[in-house]
Amino acid sequence: MSVRKLKPITPGQRFRVVNGFDAITTDKPEKSLLAPLKKSGGRNSQGKMTIRQKGGGHKRRYRVIDFKRDRQDVPAVVKSIEYDPNRTAFIALLEYTDGEKRYVVAQNGLKVGQQVAAGADVAPEIGNALPLSQIPLGTIISCIELRPGQGAVMARSAGTFAQLMAKDGKFVTVKMPSGETRLILSGCMATIGAVSNSDHQLLVSGKAGRSRWLGRRPRTRPVVMNPVDHPMGGGEGRASGGHPRSRNGIPAKGFRTRSKTKSTNKYIIERRKK
């Protein structure tokens, strides 16, 4: 993992920091695992805008990712580490012994030619997927299921990882990337190792145009709006004061929005840090 700072030969490149892509081994994706990806531009089925600041962006094709790792006890070889425009992490192309190919989210340290597998009896090594009950305490894990067979839903973005803290009956205690400590069923699958591309947080776009390539449209600051448009709008000059809040009046910056009666509250041992 590395980043490159570009020479300031144009104003847009003066502060730009780009990914070194030294972990990437090919720029040609596996054709059989590509799917079309249609953009909505933030519009619903009636064509009305329901999400602001969305639209445009470079055309992409979706890479079909295996989040379930349901090919149990069948070894696979890592054929390549690739860039995926739909996520911050890199992805790895696996080829199983019977010739089937699948994409998975790549972990830090995963190398081409390495053998990986999924199942209850595989070794707890980087890239292998195991049930939480079979993973040793203190292990760094990622791509974690919340319900058995659901597929990975947590700790999937670049550089993220969780840690297995304790085991108690049918539950295990996991410290999440947010700092939250919660119980998860021990039958859920998780992958050993932290997610790849940990330098993603160091990147600097350098210019507004790069946000447009990513499909992000300009955002108007609430304080410059009129009172009719936003609770933080209005006032003479640069009015300060008032409390930061969203467009529909919900307080921002630290206000807890999680329901106190949510059924899964009992699984959270310690809330995430403020």
Rounded CA-CA distance 60/118 in Å is 30
Taking the CA atoms of residue 135, residue 91, residue 111 and residue 120 in that order, the dihedral angle to the nearest 10 degrees is 20
The answer to whether residue 49 sits within a structural domain is no
The answer to whether residue 195 sits within a structural domain is yes
The answer to whether residue 30 sits within a structural domain is yes
Here the tokens at position 129 are 């997927």
The answer to whether residue 235 sits within a structural domain is no
Give the HSE-up count for residue 251: Cα atoms under 13 Å, Cβ half-sphere: 8
Number of domains in the chain: 1
Q: What is the pLDDT along the chain (274 residues), one digit of tens a residue?
A: 689 999 999 999 999 999 999 999 999 999 999 999 999 999 999 999 999 999 999 999 999 999 999 999 999 999 999 999 999 999 999 999 999 999 999 999 999 999 999 999 999 999 999 999 999 999 999 999 999 999 999 999 999 999 999 999 999 999 999 999 999 999 999 999 999 999 999 999 999 999 999 999 999 999 999 999 999 999 998 887 889 999 999 999 989 999 999 999 999 999 987 6
Q: CB within 8 A of 230, min separation 6: which ones?
A: 222, 247
The answer to whether residue 31 sits within a structural domain is yes
Which conformational region is residue 249 in: left (phi greater than 0), alpha (psi within -120 to 50 degrees), or beta? Answer: left
The answer to whether residue 256 sits within a structural domain is no
- Cα–Cα distances (Å) from 38 to 28, 42, 58, 63, in that order, read 21, 12, 11, 13
The answer to whether residue 115 sits within a structural domain is yes
Q: What is the pLDDT of residue 1?
A: 66
3-state secondary structure of 99: coil
CATH of the domain at 192: 2.40.50.140
Which conformational region is residue 265 in: left (phi greater than 0), alpha (psi within -120 to 50 degrees), or beta? Answer: alpha
Q: Which domain holds residue 140?
A: 3-40+56-201+264-270
pTM: 0.93
Q: Cα angle at 67 between 147 and 192, to 5 degrees? A: 85
Q: CB within 8 A of 16, min separation 6: which ones?
A: 5, 6, 204, 205, 206, 207
Rounded CA-CA distance 156/177 in Å is 10
Q: How does DSSP classify residue 147?
A: S
Rounded CA-CA distance 148/219 in Å is 40
Q: Are 35 and 62 in contact (CB under 8 A)?
A: yes
Count of other CB atoms within 10 angstroms of residue 67: 18
Q: Are 130 and 139 in contact (CB under 8 A)?
A: no
